Amino acid sequence: MKYRKNLENMPSYDGIERDYRIKVNANECNLNLPPLVEERVMSRLSRIAFNRYPNYEYYSLREQIARNFSVDEEQILIGGGSSEIIEKVFYAFGGSSTNKIVYPQPSFSMYKIYAKAAEANAIPFDLDNDYNLDVDKFIATVKNESAALAVVCNPNNPTGNALTVETIEKIAKNLNDIDCAFLVDEAYVEFYGKSAVNLVSKYPNLIIARTFSKAYGLASTRVGYMIANPEVTNMISKTYMPYHMNSLSLATADIVYQMRDEFVPRIQMMIAERKRISQQLKTLNGVKVYPSETNFVLIHYDKATELNNYLESLNIGIRSFGSSPRLENCLRISIGTREENDEVFKSIKKFIMPN
Ligand SMILES: *Cc1c(COP(=O)(O)O)cnc(C)c1O
Protein backbone atom coordinates (compact mmCIF):
# COMPACT_ATOMS: atom_id res chain seq x y z
CA MET A 1 0.00 0.00 0.00
CA LYS A 2 1.02 3.59 -0.45
CA TYR A 3 2.29 4.53 2.99
CA ARG A 4 3.86 7.87 3.67
CA LYS A 5 7.48 8.18 2.54
CA ASN A 6 10.04 7.16 5.20
CA LEU A 7 7.39 5.75 7.56
CA GLU A 8 8.74 2.24 7.16
CA ASN A 9 12.16 3.37 8.38
CA MET A 10 10.81 5.17 11.44
CA PRO A 11 12.36 3.76 14.61
CA SER A 12 9.96 2.75 17.38
CA TYR A 13 10.25 3.47 21.09
CA ASP A 14 12.60 0.75 22.31
CA GLY A 15 11.15 0.17 25.77
CA ILE A 16 9.93 -3.38 26.26
CA GLU A 17 6.97 -3.57 28.62
CA ARG A 18 6.33 -6.68 30.67
CA ASP A 19 4.61 -7.30 34.00
CA TYR A 20 7.65 -7.80 36.18
CA ARG A 21 7.32 -8.86 39.79
CA ILE A 22 9.46 -5.85 40.59
CA LYS A 23 9.12 -3.24 37.88
CA VAL A 24 11.83 -0.59 38.06
CA ASN A 25 12.42 -0.08 34.33
CA ALA A 26 10.26 2.90 33.32
CA ASN A 27 10.72 5.52 36.06
CA GLU A 28 7.10 5.16 37.07
CA CYS A 29 5.93 5.78 40.60
CA ASN A 30 5.66 2.37 42.25
CA LEU A 31 2.87 3.47 44.58
CA ASN A 32 -0.70 3.98 43.46
CA LEU A 33 -2.49 7.20 44.42
CA PRO A 34 -2.56 8.20 48.11
CA PRO A 35 -5.91 6.83 49.44
CA LEU A 36 -7.31 10.29 50.15
CA VAL A 37 -6.58 11.38 46.59
CA GLU A 38 -7.98 8.19 45.11
CA GLU A 39 -11.23 8.69 46.99
CA ARG A 40 -11.61 12.21 45.62
CA VAL A 41 -10.73 11.08 42.09
CA MET A 42 -13.37 8.34 42.18
CA SER A 43 -16.02 10.69 43.44
CA ARG A 44 -15.09 13.23 40.74
CA LEU A 45 -15.17 10.60 37.99
CA SER A 46 -18.66 9.56 39.06
CA ARG A 47 -19.85 13.06 38.12
CA ILE A 48 -18.35 13.14 34.60
CA ALA A 49 -20.72 14.14 31.80
CA PHE A 50 -19.77 11.18 29.61
CA ASN A 51 -22.01 12.43 26.79
CA ARG A 52 -20.23 15.79 26.46
CA TYR A 53 -16.98 16.83 24.85
CA PRO A 54 -14.43 17.94 27.45
CA ASN A 55 -14.52 21.68 28.08
CA TYR A 56 -14.83 22.53 31.72
CA GLU A 57 -12.26 19.89 32.72
CA TYR A 58 -9.60 21.34 30.41
CA TYR A 59 -10.07 24.92 31.56
CA SER A 60 -10.24 23.98 35.21
CA LEU A 61 -6.88 22.20 35.14
CA ARG A 62 -5.33 24.92 33.01
CA GLU A 63 -6.51 27.62 35.39
CA GLN A 64 -5.09 25.82 38.41
CA ILE A 65 -1.69 25.35 36.80
CA ALA A 66 -1.59 28.98 35.62
CA ARG A 67 -2.47 30.20 39.10
CA ASN A 68 0.27 28.11 40.68
CA PHE A 69 2.94 29.57 38.39
CA SER A 70 1.44 33.08 38.34
CA VAL A 71 1.16 33.07 34.55
CA ASP A 72 -1.78 33.74 32.24
CA GLU A 73 -4.00 30.80 31.31
CA GLU A 74 -3.02 31.36 27.67
CA GLN A 75 0.51 30.36 28.66
CA ILE A 76 -0.49 26.81 29.53
CA LEU A 77 -1.21 23.98 27.09
CA ILE A 78 -2.20 20.55 28.28
CA GLY A 79 -1.22 17.46 26.33
CA GLY A 80 -1.49 13.68 26.27
CA GLY A 81 1.54 13.19 28.46
CA SER A 82 4.51 15.50 28.02
CA SER A 83 5.22 13.16 25.09
CA GLU A 84 2.50 14.86 23.10
CA ILE A 85 3.74 18.30 24.17
CA ILE A 86 7.29 17.51 23.06
CA GLU A 87 6.10 15.95 19.81
CA LYS A 88 4.04 19.04 18.98
CA VAL A 89 6.91 21.40 19.81
CA PHE A 90 9.17 19.43 17.45
CA TYR A 91 6.43 19.48 14.83
CA ALA A 92 5.93 23.25 15.18
CA PHE A 93 9.63 24.03 14.75
CA GLY A 94 10.40 21.29 12.23
CA GLY A 95 8.98 20.63 8.80
CA SER A 96 12.03 21.02 6.60
CA SER A 97 15.73 20.23 6.41
CA THR A 98 16.51 23.90 7.05
CA ASN A 99 14.69 23.69 10.39
CA LYS A 100 17.36 22.27 12.65
CA ILE A 101 16.71 20.80 16.10
CA VAL A 102 19.64 20.41 18.50
CA TYR A 103 19.27 17.97 21.39
CA PRO A 104 21.76 16.30 23.73
CA GLN A 105 22.81 12.69 23.55
CA PRO A 106 22.58 10.48 25.43
CA SER A 107 19.21 11.78 26.55
CA PHE A 108 15.54 10.87 26.16
CA SER A 109 15.50 8.51 23.17
CA MET A 110 12.30 10.00 21.78
CA TYR A 111 13.89 13.34 20.78
CA LYS A 112 15.55 11.67 17.83
CA ILE A 113 12.30 10.02 16.80
CA TYR A 114 10.21 13.21 17.13
CA ALA A 115 12.79 15.13 15.09
CA LYS A 116 12.50 12.53 12.36
CA ALA A 117 8.71 12.45 12.52
CA ALA A 118 8.66 16.25 12.29
CA GLU A 119 10.87 16.01 9.18
CA ALA A 120 13.31 18.37 10.83
CA ASN A 121 17.08 18.30 10.53
CA ALA A 122 18.19 16.49 13.72
CA ILE A 123 21.50 17.68 15.23
CA PRO A 124 22.45 15.51 18.21
CA PHE A 125 24.93 17.18 20.57
CA ASP A 126 27.29 14.86 22.47
CA LEU A 127 27.49 15.13 26.24
CA ASP A 128 31.03 14.63 27.58
CA ASN A 129 32.33 11.34 29.03
CA ASP A 130 30.70 12.00 32.40
CA TYR A 131 27.50 13.05 30.63
CA ASN A 132 27.94 16.74 31.39
CA LEU A 133 26.82 19.37 28.90
CA ASP A 134 29.54 21.71 27.65
CA VAL A 135 27.30 24.77 27.78
CA ASP A 136 29.42 27.16 25.72
CA LYS A 137 29.92 24.55 23.03
CA PHE A 138 26.19 23.77 23.06
CA ILE A 139 25.30 27.45 22.58
CA ALA A 140 27.94 27.79 19.85
CA THR A 141 26.56 24.74 18.02
CA VAL A 142 23.00 26.07 18.14
CA LYS A 143 24.23 29.44 16.83
CA ASN A 144 26.41 27.94 14.08
CA GLU A 145 23.54 25.78 12.89
CA SER A 146 21.02 28.66 13.17
CA ALA A 147 18.78 26.07 14.80
CA ALA A 148 15.02 26.54 15.08
CA LEU A 149 14.80 24.62 18.35
CA ALA A 150 17.22 23.46 21.04
CA VAL A 151 16.26 20.97 23.73
CA VAL A 152 17.62 19.94 27.10
CA CYS A 153 16.18 17.44 29.52
CA ASN A 154 16.68 18.71 33.07
CA PRO A 155 17.39 16.58 35.05
CA ASN A 156 18.51 14.38 32.18
CA ASN A 157 17.06 10.96 31.44
CA PRO A 158 18.76 8.44 31.47
CA THR A 159 21.93 9.93 32.99
CA GLY A 160 20.26 11.52 36.05
CA ASN A 161 22.39 14.67 36.26
CA ALA A 162 21.06 18.22 36.14
CA LEU A 163 21.93 21.71 34.98
CA THR A 164 21.58 24.65 37.36
CA VAL A 165 18.87 27.24 36.76
CA GLU A 166 21.69 29.74 36.07
CA THR A 167 22.93 27.53 33.25
CA ILE A 168 19.43 27.19 31.83
CA GLU A 169 19.15 30.97 31.94
CA LYS A 170 22.46 31.42 30.14
CA ILE A 171 21.28 29.12 27.33
CA ALA A 172 17.83 30.74 27.18
CA LYS A 173 19.33 34.22 26.94
CA ASN A 174 21.85 33.35 24.23
CA LEU A 175 19.27 31.47 22.18
CA ASN A 176 16.70 34.21 22.59
CA ASP A 177 19.18 36.58 20.92
CA ILE A 178 19.07 34.42 17.79
CA ASP A 179 15.30 33.67 17.93
CA CYS A 180 15.83 30.00 18.63
CA ALA A 181 13.15 28.24 20.69
CA PHE A 182 14.47 26.48 23.79
CA LEU A 183 12.58 23.52 25.22
CA VAL A 184 13.40 22.37 28.75
CA ASP A 185 11.94 18.94 29.47
CA GLU A 186 11.33 18.91 33.24
CA ALA A 187 9.85 15.40 33.51
CA TYR A 188 11.83 14.77 36.74
CA VAL A 189 11.92 18.27 38.20
CA GLU A 190 9.94 17.31 41.33
CA PHE A 191 12.89 15.16 42.43
CA TYR A 192 15.35 17.99 41.77
CA GLY A 193 13.38 20.90 43.15
CA LYS A 194 14.84 23.54 40.84
CA SER A 195 12.73 24.63 37.91
CA ALA A 196 13.29 27.14 35.13
CA VAL A 197 9.58 28.04 35.01
CA ASN A 198 10.14 31.52 36.44
CA LEU A 199 12.35 32.38 33.47
CA VAL A 200 9.48 32.07 30.99
CA SER A 201 8.34 35.66 31.59
CA LYS A 202 11.86 36.89 30.84
CA TYR A 203 12.68 34.81 27.74
CA PRO A 204 10.00 34.59 25.02
CA ASN A 205 11.78 31.59 23.45
CA LEU A 206 11.64 29.40 26.56
CA ILE A 207 9.25 26.43 26.72
CA ILE A 208 8.91 24.21 29.79
CA ALA A 209 7.42 20.70 29.50
CA ARG A 210 6.07 18.96 32.60
CA THR A 211 4.32 15.65 33.26
CA PHE A 212 1.97 13.98 35.73
CA SER A 213 3.46 10.57 34.85
CA LYS A 214 6.47 10.43 37.15
CA ALA A 215 6.34 12.15 40.57
CA TYR A 216 2.53 12.30 40.57
CA GLY A 217 2.11 8.66 39.62
CA LEU A 218 -0.44 9.28 36.84
CA ALA A 219 1.29 7.46 33.98
CA SER A 220 -2.01 5.72 33.16
CA THR A 221 -3.88 8.93 32.34
CA ARG A 222 -1.33 10.48 29.93
CA VAL A 223 -1.36 14.10 31.07
CA GLY A 224 1.41 16.65 30.68
CA TYR A 225 1.56 20.37 30.09
CA MET A 226 3.71 23.15 28.78
CA ILE A 227 4.37 26.64 30.07
CA ALA A 228 5.51 29.18 27.51
CA ASN A 229 4.74 32.60 26.17
CA PRO A 230 1.37 33.22 24.51
CA GLU A 231 2.83 33.46 21.01
CA VAL A 232 4.35 30.00 21.39
CA THR A 233 1.30 28.38 22.98
CA ASN A 234 -0.90 29.93 20.30
CA MET A 235 1.25 28.52 17.50
CA ILE A 236 1.54 25.10 19.10
CA SER A 237 -2.19 24.90 19.82
CA LYS A 238 -2.74 25.01 16.04
CA THR A 239 -1.17 21.55 15.86
CA TYR A 240 -3.76 19.97 18.17
CA MET A 241 -6.98 18.39 17.09
CA PRO A 242 -10.17 19.62 18.81
CA TYR A 243 -10.85 18.05 22.21
CA HIS A 244 -7.57 16.13 22.15
CA MET A 245 -7.68 15.47 25.92
CA ASN A 246 -10.36 13.26 27.42
CA SER A 247 -12.45 14.31 30.42
CA LEU A 248 -11.48 11.32 32.58
CA SER A 249 -7.77 12.10 32.40
CA LEU A 250 -8.31 15.82 32.83
CA ALA A 251 -10.59 15.43 35.85
CA THR A 252 -8.14 12.98 37.45
CA ALA A 253 -5.18 15.31 36.89
CA ASP A 254 -7.28 18.21 38.19
CA ILE A 255 -7.84 16.46 41.55
CA VAL A 256 -4.22 15.29 41.74
CA TYR A 257 -3.01 18.83 41.11
CA GLN A 258 -5.36 20.24 43.75
CA MET A 259 -4.04 17.68 46.21
CA ARG A 260 -0.38 17.77 45.19
CA ASP A 261 0.73 18.39 48.79
CA GLU A 262 -0.31 14.79 49.48
CA PHE A 263 2.55 13.69 47.21
CA VAL A 264 5.30 15.58 48.98
CA PRO A 265 6.13 12.86 51.56
CA ARG A 266 6.47 10.15 48.93
CA ILE A 267 8.60 12.36 46.69
CA GLN A 268 10.87 12.97 49.69
CA MET A 269 10.91 9.23 50.38
CA MET A 270 11.97 8.52 46.79
CA ILE A 271 14.76 11.10 46.99
CA ALA A 272 15.99 9.56 50.27
CA GLU A 273 15.80 6.08 48.72
CA ARG A 274 17.74 7.23 45.65
CA LYS A 275 20.51 8.48 47.93
CA ARG A 276 20.49 5.29 49.99
CA ILE A 277 20.56 2.97 46.99
CA SER A 278 23.24 5.03 45.24
CA GLN A 279 25.48 4.71 48.31
CA GLN A 280 24.87 0.96 48.49
CA LEU A 281 25.57 0.41 44.80
CA LYS A 282 28.86 2.28 45.18
CA THR A 283 30.09 -0.45 47.55
CA LEU A 284 29.90 -3.07 44.79
CA ASN A 285 33.10 -3.99 42.92
CA GLY A 286 33.25 -2.61 39.40
CA VAL A 287 30.03 -0.61 39.61
CA LYS A 288 30.16 3.05 38.63
CA VAL A 289 27.19 5.01 39.96
CA TYR A 290 26.33 8.27 38.23
CA PRO A 291 25.03 11.18 40.32
CA SER A 292 21.26 11.57 40.06
CA GLU A 293 18.66 14.24 40.78
CA THR A 294 15.77 12.03 39.66
CA ASN A 295 13.83 8.92 40.69
CA PHE A 296 16.33 6.59 39.01
CA VAL A 297 20.03 5.77 39.09
CA LEU A 298 22.29 5.04 36.13
CA ILE A 299 25.12 2.60 36.70
CA HIS A 300 27.95 1.26 34.56
CA TYR A 301 29.11 -2.32 34.96
CA ASP A 302 31.27 -4.30 32.54
CA LYS A 303 28.95 -7.31 32.59
CA ALA A 304 25.76 -5.28 32.35
CA THR A 305 24.04 -7.68 29.94
CA GLU A 306 24.70 -10.69 32.17
CA LEU A 307 23.51 -8.77 35.24
CA ASN A 308 20.37 -7.68 33.41
CA ASN A 309 19.68 -11.28 32.33
CA TYR A 310 20.11 -12.46 35.90
CA LEU A 311 17.65 -9.86 37.20
CA GLU A 312 15.20 -10.81 34.41
CA SER A 313 15.44 -14.42 35.56
CA LEU A 314 14.30 -13.22 38.99
CA ASN A 315 11.44 -11.34 37.32
CA ILE A 316 12.99 -7.98 38.17
CA GLY A 317 12.78 -5.45 35.33
CA ILE A 318 15.40 -2.71 35.05
CA ARG A 319 16.31 -0.76 31.91
CA SER A 320 19.31 -2.04 30.00
CA PHE A 321 20.74 0.11 27.24
CA GLY A 322 22.42 -2.79 25.49
CA SER A 323 24.79 -1.31 22.95
CA SER A 324 23.13 2.12 22.63
CA PRO A 325 25.83 4.60 21.66
CA ARG A 326 27.48 6.23 24.69
CA LEU A 327 25.50 3.98 27.06
CA GLU A 328 27.29 0.68 26.50
CA ASN A 329 27.00 -1.52 29.60
CA CYS A 330 24.83 1.01 31.37
CA LEU A 331 21.76 0.07 33.37
CA ARG A 332 19.05 2.40 34.66
CA ILE A 333 17.28 1.43 37.86
CA SER A 334 14.14 3.30 38.88
CA ILE A 335 13.49 3.90 42.57
CA GLY A 336 10.65 1.76 43.89
CA THR A 337 9.37 1.19 47.39
CA ARG A 338 11.93 0.62 50.14
CA GLU A 339 11.27 -3.14 50.08
CA GLU A 340 11.63 -3.30 46.31
CA ASN A 341 14.85 -1.28 46.38
CA ASP A 342 16.26 -3.60 49.04
CA GLU A 343 15.47 -6.65 46.99
CA VAL A 344 16.88 -5.15 43.79
CA PHE A 345 20.10 -4.23 45.59
CA LYS A 346 20.39 -7.64 47.28
CA SER A 347 19.95 -9.36 43.92
CA ILE A 348 22.54 -7.17 42.20
CA LYS A 349 24.96 -7.77 45.06
CA LYS A 350 24.40 -11.51 44.85
CA PHE A 351 25.35 -11.46 41.17
CA ILE A 352 28.40 -9.25 41.53
CA MET A 353 29.74 -10.39 44.90
CA PRO A 354 28.28 -13.87 45.52
CA ASN A 355 30.46 -14.50 48.56
C1 LIG B 1 8.85 9.90 30.95
C2 LIG B 1 9.41 11.06 30.19
C3 LIG B 1 8.62 11.89 29.39
C4 LIG B 1 7.23 11.58 28.98
O5 LIG B 1 6.37 11.37 29.91
P6 LIG B 1 4.81 11.38 29.59
O7 LIG B 1 4.30 10.17 30.27
O8 LIG B 1 4.58 11.35 28.13
O9 LIG B 1 4.36 12.65 30.20
C10 LIG B 1 9.18 12.98 28.79
N11 LIG B 1 10.47 13.25 28.92
C12 LIG B 1 11.27 12.47 29.64
C13 LIG B 1 12.69 12.81 29.74
C14 LIG B 1 10.78 11.35 30.28
O15 LIG B 1 11.61 10.56 30.95
SS (H, E, C) 84-95: HHHHHHHHHHCC
Band of the pLDDT at 16, cuts 50, 70, 90? Answer: low
Percent of the chain beyond pLDDT 90? Answer: 93
Three-class SS state of 316: strand
Read off the pLDDT of each residue in 31-56 and give the average, rounded to a whole number: 96
Of 252, 231, 280, 219, nearest in space to 83 by CA = 219
pLDDT at position 5: 85
Q: Atom 14 in ligand 1: which residue has the minimum CA distance?
A: 187
DSSP state of 97: T
Instruction: Take atom 12 of ligand 1 and give the residue whose Cα is closest.
Output: 187
Please enumerate in sequence order all residues whose Cβ is within 8 A of that of 60, keeping only pairs 6 or more positions apart, or say none: 250, 254
Burial zone of 119 (CB within 10 Å; 0-12 exposed, 13-18 middle, 19+ buried): middle
Q: For residue 15, is pLDDT > 70?
A: no
More confident call, 249 vs 16:
249
Which of 14, 23, 17 is closest to 315 using CA atoms? Answer: 23
Would you say residue 13 has pLDDT above 80? no
Query: What would the pLDDT profile of 121-134 be if each residue is shown by its tens digit?
Result: 999 999 999 999 99
Distance 288 CA to ligand 1 centre (A): 25
Whether the Cβ atoms of residue 195 and residue 181 lie closer than 8 Å to each other? no
Please check the confidence at residue 19 and state whether its pLDDT lies above 90: no
- Give the model's pLDDT for residue 322: 82
CA–CA distance, 196 with 144 (Å, rounded to integer): 25
Mean pLDDT of 103-115: 96
Question: 139 pLDDT exceeds 60?
Answer: yes
Ligand 1 centroid distance, CA of 298 (Å) = 17
Cα-trace Rg, the chain: 21
Confidence of residue 82 (pLDDT cuts 50, 70, 90): very high
β-partners of residue 206 are 182
- Per DSSP, helices labelled H in the chain are 35-45, 56-69, 81-93, 110-117, 135-145, 165-177, 189-192, 230-237, 247-258, 264-282, 304-313, 338-352
Compute the mean pLDDT over every residue in the chain, rounded to the nearest whole number. Answer: 96
- Single-letter amino acid code for the residue at 76: I
CA of 316 to the centre of ligand 1 (A): 22
Cβ neighbours of residue 236 under 8 Å, at least 6 residues apart? 77, 88, 89, 92, 226, 228
pLDDT (mean) for 299-305: 97
Whether residue 109 is predicted with pLDDT greater than 80 in this model: the reply is: yes
Nearest atom in ligand 1 to 211's CA: 9
Question: What three-state secondary structure class fits 213?
Answer: coil
Q: How far is the CA of 154 from the centre of ligand 1 (A)?
A: 11
Q: Residue 23: in which H helix or E strand, if any?
A: strand 22-23
348 or 323, which is more confident: 348
Cα separation, 281 vs 215, whole angstroms: 23
Can you give the pTM of this predicted structure?
Answer: 0.97
Per-residue pLDDT tens over the stretch 274-291 = 999 999 999 999 999 999
Mean pLDDT of 220-240: 97
pLDDT at 12: 76
Can you tell me the mean pLDDT for 3-8?
Answer: 87
**Three-state SS for 78?**
strand
Range 214-242 average pLDDT: 97
Identify which of 151, 211, 293 to mutate to test ligand 1's pocket (most ligand atoms within 8 A of the CB): 211
